[in-house]
């Protein structure tokens, strides 16, 4: 399914404009499910955004220079390192880096990329996007630099912050759409307008070493958002935002998240699924080794979650299955473990629906820590489509004060192994 991926770690001489060097570099080859490291020598091109007119002074609009640099990189028949130099700040309006391209591209963000604070710059553009990589295969984005969304100007106009404001969308800082064989690593993201990094309809994705931060009151600032993507591996990331640290939504399969530090934030969520009766699917998800801090939810596999962070509506279709959460440590986490198929967003009772997104094969293993709420385990499943194959093994959750926590179960097929605290689960 996947061709070979060269993730290039270039060691180039600094040159002017579009230069070509013969050099040695490390690259990673991805073929199927195997990663191999090797050393090769081949011609490469170095493209620096400064040589296309970028100023990097923090106030000049550098968007046209970035577009010109990208067009040169994408047209190159040799592999390219497109460099955003260290020690400078580049201000950008909405921008699209379009593919397909002729060769592999490594984008080295070493300095800071800063979003425009003028909201009218999005007039005529997709308001949901700031920087978009579209249909680029074999792409690597890394470099140790910073992506700053200047989200403060957007947050204050959110209906969640000011109820008098209309509820409208805001940009995701960095979006990858239909990008296969993709590596994103060693970057810092802060204060996104809304979500920080989104992967949509991508395959063969490796995400590592990201540090993502925004105030805990910032609205909808998810850290990493996975949508309709397959074979995604997330590792060694620190995420502290105002919404989900990691969110996984419909069409996503074979997603792994390991060694994640989360908090503040709203944990690791599967959903939204089944909104307005839609058919949505998520499967084969593994979360292994994570620490969640300061009143977040460990995991919320529920059918549909609105951007207002509400739990799921009934009436959807599809499934969430084959999901494992293990080796998790929590510190003062609200509602640590939740499956909820019965959310109602109306002032009037919604009534029981005849359909729901089916939840099955979910395992919680080796989970310990403290809950900020009396109920630590909450399985509220649909009467028409009960949860099946839910397993809880070696769980020990108490309240922050040390008192016993509670659990609640409804319409769930539950199996327990080992010591499970809280142990009582009433249906």
**Which candidate, 241, 188, 243, 232, places its Cα nearest to that of 210?**
188
- Is residue 243 annotated as a catalytic residue, yes or no? yes
Closest CA to 274 of 235, 310, 303, 243: 303
Largest CA distance in the chain: 70
Of the residues 148, 243, 340, 378, only one is catalytic, namely: 243
From the list 9, 19, 143, the residue with the least C-alpha distance to 78 is 19
Asked if 205 and 182 count as a contact pair (C-beta separation under 8 A), the reply is yes
List the beta bridge partners of residue 45: 20, 80
The SS3 assignment for 243 reads coil
φ/ψ (deg, to 5) at 120: -65, -15
- Tokens of residue 181, six digits: 């064989």
Inter-residue contact 196 to 219 (CB < 8 Å):
no
Q: How far is it, in rounded angstroms, from Cα 182 to Cα 304? A: 28
Q: How many CA atoms lie within 13 A of 154 on its CB side?
A: 32
Say if CB 336 and CB 376 are below 8 A apart: yes
Name the token pair of 147: 């992506």
The catalytically annotated residue of 266, 280, 304, 378 is 266
Which regions of 294-357 does DSSP assign to beta strands (E)?
299-301, 317-333, 337-340
Catalytic: 280?
no
Query: Which are the catalytic amino acids?
Result: 243, 266
């Amino acid at each position: 399914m996947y061709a070979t991926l060269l993730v290039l770690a270039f060691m180039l001489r600094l040159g002017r404009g579009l230069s070509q060097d013969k050099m040695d570099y490390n690259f990673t080859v991805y073929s199927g499910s195997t990663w191999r490291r090797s050393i090769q020598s081949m011609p490469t091109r170095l493209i620096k955004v400064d040589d296309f007119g970028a100023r990097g002074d923090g106030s000049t609009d550098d968007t046209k220079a970035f577009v010109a640099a990208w067009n040169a990189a994408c047209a190159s028949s040799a592999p390219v390192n497109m460099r955003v130099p260290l020690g400078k700040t580049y201000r950008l309006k909405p921008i699209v880096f379009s593919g397909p391209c002729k060769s592999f591209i490594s984008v080295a963000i070493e300095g800071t990329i800063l979003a425009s604070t003028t909201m009218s710059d999005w007039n005529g553009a997709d308001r949901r996007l700031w920087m978009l990589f579209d249909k680029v295969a074999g792409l690597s984005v890394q470099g140790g630099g910073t992506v700053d969304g200047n989200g403060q100007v957007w947050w204050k106009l959110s209906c969640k912050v000011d109820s008098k404001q209309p509820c409208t969308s805001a940009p995701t800082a960095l979006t990858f759409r239909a990008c296969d064989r993709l590596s994103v690593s060693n970057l810092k993201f802060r204060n996104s307008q809304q979500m920080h990094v989104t992967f949509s309809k991508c395959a063969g994705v490796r995400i590592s070493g990201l540090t993502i931060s925004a105030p805990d009151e910032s609205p909808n600032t998810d850290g990493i958002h996975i949508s309709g993507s397959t074979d995604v591996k997330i590792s060694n990331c620190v995420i502290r935002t105002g919404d989900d640290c990691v969110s996984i939504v419909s069409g996503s399969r074979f997603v792994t998240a390991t060694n994640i530090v989360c908090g503040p934030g709203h944990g690791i969520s599967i959903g939204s699924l089944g909104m307005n009766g839609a058919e949505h699917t998520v499967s084969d998800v593994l979360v292994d080794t994570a620490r969640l801090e300061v009143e977040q939810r460990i995991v919320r596999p529920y059918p549909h979650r609105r951007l207002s962070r509400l739990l799921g509506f009934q009436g959807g279709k599809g499934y969430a299955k084959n999901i494992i959460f293990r080796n998790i440590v929590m510190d003062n986490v609200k509602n640590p473990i939740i499956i909820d198929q019965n959310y109602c967003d109306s002032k009037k009772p919604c009534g029981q629906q005849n359909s729901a997104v089916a939840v099955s094969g979910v395992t919680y293993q080796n989970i310990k820590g403290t809950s900020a709420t009396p109920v630590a385990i909450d399985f509220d499943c649909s009467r028409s489509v009960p949860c099946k194959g839910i397993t809880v093994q070696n769980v020990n959750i108490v309240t922050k004060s040390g008192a016993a926590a509670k659990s609640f179960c409804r319409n769930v097929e539950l199996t327990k192994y080992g010591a499970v605290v809280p142990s009582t689960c009433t249906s």
